Structure 1
Amino acid sequence: TQNGFCESIGSHPSRTIMLQEMESLFQNISPDAPFIIIKDAVIHDNILNKKSISGRNKTLSFLKRMYGLDDSIPLYRVFRYLFKQYEKEHPILLLLYALARDKSLRIAADYVLSLDCGAQANKDDLIHILSQYLEGSFTEKTLKSMAENLLSSWTQSGHLVGKVKKIRTKSTSGPASLTFALYLGTLIGLGGIMLVKSPFMSVLDLNETERDELLHSASVMGFISYKSAGGMIEITMKNPVYSLGEV
Structure 2
Amino acid sequence: MTGSDANPSFRLAYVPGVTPTKWVRIWNERLPDIPLTLVGVSAGEAFAALRAGDADAGFVRLPVDGTDLSAIPLYTETTVVVVPKDHVVSAVDEVTAEDLADEIVLHPLDDVLGWEVLPGKPAFERPATTADAIELVAAGIGVLVVPQSLARLHHRKDLTYRPVTDAPASRIALSWPEARTTDLVEDFIGIVRGRTVNSSRGRQGAPAQPQQDRKAAAAKKTGGKPRTAGKPAGKTAGRTAGKSGGGKAQARGAAAPKRGKPRRRP
TM range (shorter): under 0.3
The structure with more radius of gyration: 2
TM-score (norm 2): 0.25
Q: Give the structure with the higher percent helix.
A: 1
**TM-score normalised by length of structure 1:** 0.26
- Relative to its length, the structure with more strand (as a share) is 2
